[in-house]
Each structure stands twice: as structure tokens, then as C-alpha cells.
Amino acid sequence: MHDEKTSLRGEDVREVFEAVLPENELRQIIAKAKFEERTRKRDAVAFVRAMVIAAATGYGGRQRDVARIYFENGAQRVVRGGFYAWFGKELESAMEAIAKRAMAYGASLPLDTPRLLAEYARDFHIVDSSTVKLPSDLFELLPGAGDYAALKVHKRLSVGLGTVVDYHISAARDHDARHLALDESWRKLGLLADLGYASLKLLRDCQTYEVVYVIRLKDNWKPRVERIHRGEVTATFFPGTDLDALIDAGTLSLDGRIVDATVTLGPPGQTISCRLVGVPAPDGSYRFYLTNLPRTVGPNSIADIYRVRWEIESDNKVDKSCSHLDAISARTAPAARALVHASITSSMLACLVVHKHRLAERPAPAKGAERSTPPLHPQSLARAMGATALRIAETLALATREAAPKWQHIADYLFHLGHDPNWRSRPSVLDQMRGWRITPGRSRRGKIAPSTRKRSN
């Protein structure tokens, strides 16, 4: 019998895969994209499923891995040139629609936003981009920032879902800030973004759409200090004095204490008022953040909230190291973009399985309860998905009753290999925000030392 609080349920794994890759809906997507019109030798449903499932395998190249999954599940074989001809605009359109289906399914699930964040926004979203280098053959069509071909993927990740809820592809040379425009879909959400997206317009848009934000202070921004609420102030100063001037004069002493101030930014008549917090770093420097969170959220908590931005960096690693976004060797632009959509969808599948398990094990039994079992980790689980890709493809093709025990077998395999290997030494800030206490484990050397000493005596 499976303990639903710790084990991964086969029905949850089945639900995720069948919600994202269901046969009837895939046929509609394929028909709309006109992917099945050119040849009757192709099992289009099996093919687009293979596109997604093969992304995590990483055996012999992306398109070769698709062929392996597709043909080894009984599809009619075709000559190599015919197979590669399928990677056209029709497939690109179908894969983009499947990725949108995965995002829509994720958006239908309950959120698991930590209380510290949920008090101030219904969810926090993180934005970031990653560059995908491509074969040099595509340089004329898809030029990168250097002497290589590339494109850029701009992502928006939900903290409460742990997965991407929106993304789009652009030219690799585009500046990130051009691809973040707040609209009604952002209303009353939280925003975490790196310096590439920071602008005064972004802060004004946050006011318009009631978006809570935490961003780093740009080096070239000149905030004017109106009031200092916390910090070592050695002399009086006029409101509106430049922050750097206060620090240079020693009026605001950076002596290891926390700084919390009200500042203004922008030209006269267009100023923005916000909160600035400074938190000392281990090396003695300070990290400054801008936010509109109230002062009931302390500066150290503001710094912790910004650390959550690392979740999208981890998601980028799932895309590249697990779903092989960096291993696209396609020779045409539609094929390259189709494989990008497949990689993102594959990553979403892993993240959604992890989210389903996290929903099943919540909440922590009591505030500060000790976590005794490691949480699932998207990177580890994505690698396990790749290792059992053929079994997943086979099980998707089975009838529900026949497939049930096989889904549980897959779930047990994913659970066994999908744990976070560093859950004690580098616990997730989100895991801690969700109420779990994690005691660092003893090193292997520490565990064996007593018995070694006993034998030597």
C-alpha cells in the first residue's frame, strides 16, 4: 500500500500525461495544424507524443531520439529523408498548441503559494529568458548576439504552480525588457525579475495593475532618500538627498545593520515612491532591493522572497540539461522552433508531476515540522522520465484499465529516482517558506567515524 503523503501516485502521473497528451484532443490539434495531410504513413498522435517524451532522453540527438521513441512503439518505418521532412511549419504549429495545452492544464490546478507570499498576492510570477544556440546553417535566418545562430525563449513561471504559465520565442538579439509588458493578466500578482527587466516604466505599470514587486536596485539608478526607518544614521539630512551621497558622507553608515528607507525615483513630475531595503551579505557588501511590500515584511524576508527568483534559473536547467533545449541540431527554423516547444512541454510535464505530489503531501503537519523524506525535484524527476521514456510512450497508448498498474510502476520509478539529492545540505527556500524545518544531515564521514574509532581501539 502506498502512503499518499510520501509516495507518488500512479493516478497523478497518468492524469498529468493524459491531460497534456490526450489522443482525441491531439487529433484536433493535428487536424487544425494540417500536420496529417501530407502522408497517410504517419501516426501523427504517436509522433507528437514522441516529440515531447523524447526531449528528456538525450541519447543520439533530438530528432534521432524522436525517431527511436516513435518507431520502437510500432509505427510504420519510413526512409530517413521522409522522416526529417515531417519537421515543417505544420509540426511547429502543432507543438506550439500542445505547449499551450500544458500551460492551460497547469493553470487549472490549485496553487501552493507559501503563506508569506500569498498574504500579499494570489501568486508570484518570475520572468527570465534563455538563449538557445543553433547550428550555424541557421545564422542568416536566426542570428545570435555573436557569430552563431540562436533564438531566445522568454518565460513566465508561477511560484504557486512551480512551472511555466507563459512563454514565447524571439530573436536572440532582442533585449529582455522589450518582452515584459504588464497587462490585466498581471493584476494583483507578485513579480520577481532580474535587472535585465528593471525600468521606471515597469514600476509604474506595477502601480497601475496592483502588482507587488521585489527587484534589485540597478547600479545606475539614483534613488533619493525621503526617510530612513531602519539603519545607522549619524547626522540629519534633507529629504530627497541622493542615496550614494548619504553613504559617501557617512550619514548613512553601512556597518552591518539592516537598512530600510522610503525613496523616490524618476524625473520631477514623474517620480515613483517605493521602499528600499539593504541587507548585508556574507562578504560585507550590501544587497539593495526595491519593493512595494509593506514594512510588516522585514528586510531579511524581502531578501528571502527575492531568492525565490532562483526557481526560474532551476527551471532553465531542467529545459537545458534534462529536456535538452541546448541540443537542437535542426537545419530549418520551423524544426528548431518545434523542438523548442517540445522541450518546454517536456519540462512542464516533470514540473507538473512534482506539483501534483507537493499538493498531495501538504501541508506540513505543524508549523516547523521536521521534513523526514526528501521532496521531489524537477531536474531529478525529468532525468528519470528520460530513462523510462519508452515505457511512458507505451503506457499512453493503452486503455485506462490496462494502463493503471503500469502508471503506478512508472510512478514508483520516478519517485525512487526523482528526489532532490541536496535537500538537507541546500534546502529549498520555498520548502522552508511552506513550513518545513530541515535539519542538515551528518556527512557520510561523520556517520562512519564512530565505528571506525571503535574498531581501532
How do residues 321-364 score in pLDDT, each as one tens digit? 999 999 999 999 999 999 999 999 999 999 999 999 999 887 65
Name the strand (E) or helix (H) holding 417: helix 400-417
d(CA 426, CA 371): 14
d(CA 61, CA 137): 17
pLDDT for position 39: 55
Strand runs (DSSP E) across 138-271, as ranges? 149-158, 163-171, 190-193, 212-216, 224-230, 232-233, 241-242, 252-253, 259-265
**Is residue 227 very low, low, confident or very high in pLDDT (cuts 50, 70, 90)?**
very high
How do residues 133-145 score in pLDDT, each as one tens digit? 999 999 999 999 8
pLDDT for position 428: 83
pLDDT for position 269: 86
**Percent of the chain at pLDDT above 70?**
93
Does position 390 have pLDDT exceeding 50, yes or no?
yes
The DSSP secondary-structure symbol of 184 reads G
**Is residue 40 very low, low, confident or very high in pLDDT (cuts 50, 70, 90)?**
low
pLDDT for position 64: 92
- Rounded average pLDDT over 375-379: 93
In the three-class reduction of DSSP (H, G, I as helix; E, B as strand; rest coil), residue 392 is classed as helix
How do residues 10-20 score in pLDDT, each as one tens digit? 999 999 999 99
Report the mean per-residue pLDDT for the chain.
Answer: 90
- Higher-pLDDT residue of 230 and 366 is 230
Q: Which residue has the cell 541587507?
A: 279
Sign of the C-alpha dihedral computed for residues 302, 308, 312 and 317 taken in this order: positive
In the three-class reduction of DSSP (H, G, I as helix; E, B as strand; rest coil), residue 5 is classed as coil
The DSSP secondary-structure symbol of 220 reads T
Does position 451 have pLDDT exceeding 60, yes or no?
no
Does position 457 have pLDDT exceeding 60, yes or no?
no
Q: Which residue has the cell 529523408?
A: 81
pLDDT for position 363: 64
pLDDT for position 365: 61
pLDDT for position 191: 98
Does position 446 have pLDDT exceeding 70, yes or no?
no
In the three-class reduction of DSSP (H, G, I as helix; E, B as strand; rest coil), residue 126 is classed as strand
pLDDT for position 352: 98
Q: Which residues pair with 286 in a beta bridge?
A: 280
d(CA 59, CA 430): 33
d(CA 288, CA 198): 14
How do residues 92-101 score in pLDDT, each as one tens digit? 999 999 999 9
d(CA 220, CA 215): 14
Does position 3 have pLDDT exceeding 60, yes or no?
no
**Is residue 452 very low, low, confident or very high in pLDDT (cuts 50, 70, 90)?**
very low
Side chain identity, residue 77: R
Does position 381 have pLDDT exceeding 90, yes or no?
yes
**39-53, 207-221, 227-241, 346-360: which has the minimum mean pLDDT?**
39-53
**Percent of the chain at pLDDT above 90?**
76
Residues 6+ away with beta carbon under 8 Å from 274: 203, 262, 263, 264, 265, 290, 291, 292
pLDDT for position 449: 46
Cα dihedral: 220, 226, 228, 232 (round 10): 70
CA angle 73, 320, 393 (to 5 degrees): 15
**22-26, 149-153, 174-178: which has the minimum mean pLDDT?**
174-178
Does position 2 have pLDDT exceeding 50, yes or no?
no
- Rounded average pLDDT over 208-222: 94
Side chain identity, residue 9: R
Q: Which ranges of 196-323 does DSSP label H, i.e. alpha helix? A: 200-208, 243-248, 299-307, 310-317
d(CA 377, CA 417): 10
In the three-class reduction of DSSP (H, G, I as helix; E, B as strand; rest coil), residue 288 is classed as strand
- Rounded average pLDDT over 167-185: 94
Helix then strand then coil, % of the chain, to nearest 5: 45, 20, 35
- Rounded average pLDDT over 284-295: 95
In the three-class reduction of DSSP (H, G, I as helix; E, B as strand; rest coil), residue 292 is classed as coil
